[in-house]
Amino acid sequence: MSKIIIIGAGGVGNVVAHKCAQSSNIFSEIILASKTFEKCLAIAQSVKDKTGKSIKCIRLDADDVTITTKLLENEKPDLLINVALPYQDLNLMDACLNAKVDYLDTANYEPPNEAKFEYKWQWDYEERFKKAGLTALLGSGFDPGVTNVFCAYAQKHYFDSIETIDILDANAGDHGYPFATNFNPEINIREITQKGRYWKEGKWIEVAPMSIHREYNFPEIGKKNAYLLYHEELESLSKNIPNLKKIRFWMTFSEQYLLHLEVLQNVGMTSIKPINVKGIQIQPIEFLKSVLPDPATLGEKTKGKTCIGCDISGLKDGNKKRIFIYNVSDHQKCYAEVLSQAISYTTGVPARIGAEMILNKKWRKPGVWNMEEMDPDPFMESLNKYGIPWNVINLKPK
């Protein structure tokens, strides 16, 4: 029996609220706090309709550490689940330290005025969380999150040493719009428009944005063009998987998505540099976000499947070995269950499972942790149980 507070009433917040409410025996009290109170109420209503469980709603600006600390001190939750935006990570970690509450998120910190993300800022909290006897679990979504656990599981059960990892993220879903993103458009576009980067033999190799692509045959989806991107789990996995020689991240995009993105970039709409419009300073990308469809509303229209997994090569008993460990999710099935498309679903479910791992103390250790640093077995078991079934296939070693 535990009390949790979910911060962020967006697409992912909706899934976390639904999935936690489905397990009332574990998450006995749920609070949902976010910037727009009405969004909390709408989620609470749909959770009530689907599960009969009541959720307490609170309006909160999570950038205000003092107010958030007071809220945590008053409510005394056992865990804070941060599914607001990456900009809030450090403020929420500070509030958790002040009020002595465990912390979990799904995306690493990004400064609002610089299109850059890295774990350094959050890893710097290690000593403070350790000293306070608190756990901070970073990146408990799908990628990062499940992909990190897939690697830890492969390391534990399939390989003596892992040499290369290719993380592959395919979304073959169609929402019917000419252009929309499946999670927060600002965060999504910032991620895609920055330089590609991968790690090889101890060095980071940088390439022009979207300049490297290859065709990959995804189970249940078929052949898709996947583009090399920098993604945050590369930073922690390159550090935490011993003997690793190379790790890359690939994501698929439709021709239509890429065409729109190119035009938006060419006209300056993806820039984070504020411009003056009739005396008001606005970030073009923030304006773009406000005219694009809200990802939280895409669920009903989105059809098709996602396939995300890790193509891992290495050695077992002196022989070369290669596996693909993956999940396939169906957008419409996710919508039927929690009124959300598969991208938010496959992020919210791992956040719910990570929360349970901290609350049941299987993963509760003072300090700041990435997912691959924990025992993967109980998490992998829960993925099958709570809606993200996975599979492993043997591939021909390269």
Nearer to ligand NDP, 298 or 323 (CB): 298
What is the C-alpha to C-alpha distance for residues 106 and 137, in angstroms, rounded to an integer?
9
CA distances from 91 to 94, 122, 138, 150 (A): 5, 11, 14, 30
- Using CB atoms within 10 Å of the CB of residue 153, give its burial: 0 to 12 exposed, 13 to 18 middle, 19+ buried: buried
Taking the complex as a whole, how short is the minimal distance between the CB of residue 359 and ligand NDP, in angstroms? 20
State which residue has the least CB distance to ligand NDP.
10
Q: What residues make contact with ligand NDP under the rule CB under 6 A?
A: 7-13, 34-36, 39, 60-63, 83-86, 88, 106-107, 139, 141-145, 183-184, 187, 295-296, 343-344, 347
158: which 2 tokens? 């399939």
Q: How far is the CB of 203 from ligand NDP (least distance, A)?
A: 25
**Min separation Cβ 252 and ligand NDP, Å:** 15
Would you say 110 or 163 has its CB closer to ligand NDP?
A: 110
User: Smallest gap, in angstroms, from Cβ of residue 394 to ligand NDP?
Assistant: 26
Cβ-proximal residues to 153 (8 Å cutoff; 6+ apart), any chain: 325, 376, 377, 380
Cβ-based nearer residue to ligand NDP, 200 or 337: 337
Residue 13 or 387 having the CB closest to ligand NDP: 13
User: At its nearest, how many Å lie between ligand NDP and the CB of residue 145?
Assistant: 5
- Find out whether 350 and 343 touch, Cβ atoms under 8 Å: no
Mention every residue, 6+ apart, whose C-beta is less than 8 A from residue 124.
Answer: none
* Structure token pair of residue 333: 């099935």
The answer to whether 49 and 14 are in contact (CB under 8 A) is no
Peptide bond between residue 144 and the one before it cis (omega within 30 degrees of 0): yes
Residue closer to ligand NDP by CB (options 145, 309) is: 145
Residue 3: name the closest of 31, 40, 37, 42 by CA.
Answer: 31
Nearest residue (CB) to ligand NDP, 141 versus 173? 141
From the CB of 91, what's the least distance to ligand NDP, in Å? 8
